[in-house]
Amino acid sequence: MNIHIETDRLILRDMEEYDVEGIFALDSDPDVHEYLGKNPITTMEQAKEVIDYVQNQYKQHGIGRWAVIDKKTNDFIGWSGLKFETTVREFDYYDLGYRFRKKYWGKGIATETAIASLQYGFDKLELDEISGAADVDNIASNKILQKVGLRYVETFEFEGIPHHWYTLKRSEWLEINSDY
């Protein structure tokens, strides 16, 4: 197991085969998929395919979403982190994203893991820019991206659905985190 980040409450680590039940609980929930095409998974095999996809990102790009684990309970909360994205826009970029089981919504976990992921991306990976996108109707996700410092750039369509596009440059991150 490769742990990348620890916060006071959470561990962000590589996704592993044994996370299959947690991925199934996450991605089979229709509420979790409200702004993701409304197409939740229905089988454990699909959950395994999600893990395989993420693990392939680690191999191909050296980065991918991380499992988020509650330190106190060892519970699988969901995933968060950076991904090298090649399909959403007409250009490649590093994407900040997060997805959590419903029982963990509203507890500040997305903000906590997003900030930790930005710090990792700008400090450890020395990325010049990190971006994020959210369905315009997903108020919570849009608020989180703005709260952690990403700046609105434009609205674009992905699969026929309007999304807000945000970016944050390393220089801007260092400026807003001057004590960093």
Using pLDDT thresholds of 50, 70 and 90, give the confidence band for residue 111: very high
User: Which CATH number goes with the domain that contains 72?
Assistant: 3.40.630.30
The mean predicted confidence, pLDDT, of the chain is 93
| pLDDT tens per residue, range 83-105 | 999 888 889 999 999 999 999 99
Residue 35, pLDDT score: 86
pLDDT for position 180? 47
C-alpha to C-alpha distances, 114 to 88, 150, 175, nearest whole angstrom: 20, 10, 17
Domain around 150: 3-176
pLDDT of residue 1: 54
Smallest Cα–Cα separation from 80: which of 128, 144, 165, 1? 144
Task: Return the closest-CA partner of residue 63 out of 47, 85, 48.
Answer: 85
Summarize the confidence of residues 47-75 as an average pLDDT: 95
Domain count, the chain: 1
